[in-house]
């Protein structure tokens, strides 16, 4: 199965790329993590935030169209908080059903509320996290969830 993080924003710092790559390298073929970056619309001094967020939503919808039938969740601060065991169970269930998972992360102004409302919402924390940390945190949690599924000693 594939866990796909569809994230608005590109050019992450090297330390983010290194952190995500480390967890991607550790995962085996039964669960893979992909990060797909979508460019942010141009922002300027007079940019209309609502318009930018709608443009970002359109870009995400276009990318989602490439993955029909995949389970999709939106990351939101107000979303459902999962324990590592719950995430592991969810990934195991999806893997056993042969289904992939898309995880949506909005731009600097968050996800478009209309887009986000179409999907179950998960939260990584009650805190608002910067996008670089979201990528590493999600990568680590996918790896930790996988380690539970296969009985690897990483999760103790």
- As annotated, the binding site for S-adenosyl-L-methionine includes 75, 106, 124-129
Q: Which stretches does DSSP call E strand in the chain?
A: 2-8, 32-38, 71-81, 101-105, 121-123
Angle at 40 between CA 35 and CA 44, to 5 degrees: 160
Q: What single-letter DSSP state applies at residue 68?
A: T
- State the binding site: 75, 106, 124-129
106: buried, middle or exposed (CB in 10 Å: 19+, 13-18, 0-12)?
buried
């Amino acid at each position: 199965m594939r866990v796909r993080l569809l994230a608005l924003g590109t050019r992450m710092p090297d330390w983010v790329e290194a952190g995500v790559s480390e967890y991607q390298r550790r995962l085996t073929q039964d669960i893979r993590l992909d990060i797909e970056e979508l460019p942010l619309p141009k922002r300027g001094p007079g940019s209309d935030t609502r318009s930018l967020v709608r443009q970002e939503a359109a870009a995400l919808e276009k990318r989602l169209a490439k993955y029909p039938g995949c389970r999709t969740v939106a990351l939101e601060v107000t979303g459902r908080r999962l324990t590592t065991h719950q995430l592991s169970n969810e990934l195991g269930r999806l893997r056993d059903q042969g289904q992939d998972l898309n995880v949506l992360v909005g731009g600097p102004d968050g996800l478009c509320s209309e887009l986000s409302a179409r999907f179950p919402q998960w939260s990584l924390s009650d805190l608002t996290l910067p996008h670089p940390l979201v990528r590493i945190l999600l990568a680590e949690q996918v790896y930790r969830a996988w380690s539970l599924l296969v009985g690897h000693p990483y999760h103790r």
